[in-house]
Amino acid sequence: MTAESGVRAEAPRWRRVAKIVLSVAAMIFVSVALRNQWRGVRDALVGMNAAVLLVSTVAAASAIACSGEQQRRLLSSWAAEVPRAVFHRVFYAAQLGKYLPGSAWAYVAQMELSKERGIGRAASTFAIALGALMTVLTAGAMSGLLLTTQPFTGVPEWARVLAFAVCVLVLVVILARPLVVDRFARWGMGKVHREVPSAAPTAGHLRWAIGWSLVAWLGYGFHLWLLMVDAGGPALGGWTVALGGFATAWVCGFLVFFLPAGIGVREAVLVAVLTGAGLDAATALAVSLVSRFLIVLAEVLLAVPSSMSLRRHRLVPAAVAAEEGPS
């Protein structure tokens, strides 16, 4: 291994300053988001079980960790080694960027932090795009569960069954032929004139990434289900409502990209879903606010200690590692 490849180049001063400014700005926006919702959250928290709140927060944190593992698996297609602990520190810190106006800040932060550790910009950008596409596709599949449990005015039974079948088919296709997702992502990146890595990820890496994405949705669904049941919602049929409803709400918030982390949109969709599941409007709003609060809390609890303990590691790209061989 050459001396230059073993030493990380010092980042330009403007880039270091920009990172500090963006980190501070992200924390400010997180604080503002929490403060704006605190009154409603505080009133809702009073009547909730402390154990439920704790387990729900742990479930949300687990879902966030699974989302990070999805990205790590994708990046492993282009890096010789992507240590779990190191990448999760990068991923958790980058997540705070989504509370800045414009959801792209989280992705920009992740690309910059990945670049410092030897992952090329093309691979990092493509992994993020591929991960986002997988997340949307698996969320769509989870949203299909909502169609089996929630009656929709004016929607005939055959249409509900057909929509659910399509959702299941999409899930089966991406698991059986995961490279279809890669080809679709490459086509989309080409349309916006973005560079993509020449090497395609393996089907194995893609299946693992899809699997982690599905597990993340289970964690988010469990997180919401606990809150919904504690608020008086249905326990048995409520599971599919919580899982499908959260996935649907997340997709809606994701599509409204100019709002930080889809704030407001996700809550509005959740209120509609939870109201349809039997909760009154006030209780549904309280549950949606507490859900948002606990997820933000989980993200901060994961990001802050990780950022403080972030060590300088460099991930060696697979191509470089293959050329250099063992040191």
Quickly state the pLDDT bin for 5 (edges 50, 70, 90): very low
The 3 state secondary structure assigned to 86-155 is: HHHHHHHHHHHHHHCCCCHHHHHHHHHHHHHCCCCHHHHHHHHHHHHHHHHHHHHHHHHHHHHHCCCCCC
Q: Which neighbouring-strand residues pair with 317?
A: 79
Q: What are the tens digits of pLDDT across the range 156-173?
A: 777 777 878 888 888 888
The pLDDT score that the predictor gives to residue 312 is: 46
The pLDDT score that the predictor gives to residue 246 is: 93
The pLDDT score that the predictor gives to residue 158 is: 76
The pLDDT score that the predictor gives to residue 3 is: 38
Task: Give the span between the Cα atoms of 166 and 171, in whole angstroms.
Answer: 9
The pLDDT score that the predictor gives to residue 247 is: 92
* For helices 50-75 and 121-149, angle between their N-to-C axes, nearest 10 degrees: 140
- Tell me phi and psi for residue 79, to 5 degrees: -120, 145
The HSE-up count of residue 193 (CA atoms within 13 Å, CB side) is 0
Sign of the dihedral through C-alpha 35, 37, 42, 48: negative
Residue 56 has pLDDT above 60, yes or no: yes
Choice among 64-78, 186-200, 287-301 with the minimum mean pLDDT: 186-200
The pLDDT score that the predictor gives to residue 320 is: 36
Q: Which three-class secondary structure state does DSSP give residue 84?
A: helix
Quickly state the pLDDT bin for 47 (edges 50, 70, 90): confident
Q: Using an 8 Å Cβ cutoff, are 227 and 290 in contact? A: yes
Give this prediction's pTM.
Answer: 0.76
Q: Which residue did the predictor score with more confidence, 311 or 208? A: 208
